[in-house]
């Protein structure tokens, strides 16, 4: 059974900018990745397809009565967590149930979660940097100097299968 990752972001460009390298490395490790993005109808999903993810419009996914299998991990934009009660409910329910790896990215961890979410980083593989650069260009996002790490705030981490790129404590 393939492991499932769901990314929740306000825009395609933000999903790629904040988590594109980690997303790509998870896809290469055999994960099935679905991105729920707020601007899906406005922009095409090509940047996410470059990274190996499928994309769905955020509002449609959050209001659909049909639910897919529980993801093994979710990664969410912290500002979107603050702004959208549906996203906040998804994250807090996932943390409470303890069955899903929960990650947030952003300048700061939301206040209601801050105490229990240490910072972790993912060091991008060489391939992840190359694919993330192409995905950023496809999203018409600045590519400038691409950082070799992506930082997340994490709830309890569910162990990954052996050989899967993993997050490490941020220095």
Nearest to 152 by CA among 102, 113, 115: 102
Beta strands in 4-111 (DSSP E): 4-9, 32-37, 54-57, 73-77, 101-105
How many Å apart are CA 90 and CA 108, to the nearest integer? 19
The helix or strand, by DSSP H or E, that contains position 130, with its residue range, turns out to be helix 126-138
pTM of this prediction?
Answer: 0.86
Q: What is the pLDDT of residues 86-104, one digit of tens each?
A: 999 989 888 888 888 899 9
Q: Give all domains of the chain, ordered by start, each with its CATH number.
A: 4-169 (3.40.50.10320)
- Say if CB 43 and CB 24 are below 8 A apart: no
Q: What is the pLDDT of residues 44-60, one digit of tens each?
A: 889 999 999 999 999 88
Sign of torsion over alpha carbons 62, 67, 68, 72: positive
Per-residue pLDDT of the chain (171 residues; tens, 9 = 90+): 789 999 999 999 999 999 999 999 999 999 999 999 998 777 788 999 999 999 999 988 888 877 777 899 999 999 999 999 999 998 988 888 888 889 999 887 777 776 667 788 999 999 999 999 999 999 988 887 788 999 998 865 445 544 444 666 665
């Amino acid at each position: 059974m393939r492991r499932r990752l769901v990314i929740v972001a306000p825009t395609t460009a933000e999903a790629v900018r904040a988590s594109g390298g980690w997303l790509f490395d998870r896809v290469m490790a055999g994960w099935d990745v679905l991105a729920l993005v707020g601007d899906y109808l406005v922009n095409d999903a090509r940047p996410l397809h470059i990274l190996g993810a499928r994309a769905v419009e955020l509002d449609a996914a959050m209001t659909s009565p049909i639910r897919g299998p529980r993801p093994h991990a979710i990664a969410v934009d912290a500002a979107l967590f603050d702004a959208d009660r549906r996203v906040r409910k998804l994250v807090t329910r996932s943390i409470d149930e303890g069955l899903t790896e929960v990650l947030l990215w952003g300048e700061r961890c939301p206040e209601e979660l801050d105490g229990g979410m240490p910072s972790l980083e993912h060091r991008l593989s060489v391939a992840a940097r190359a694919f993330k650069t192409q995905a950023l260009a496809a999203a018409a996002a600045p590519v400038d100097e691409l950082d070799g790490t992506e930082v997340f705030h994490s709830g309890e981490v569910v162990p990954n299968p052996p050989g899967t790129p993993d997050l490490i404590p941020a220095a």
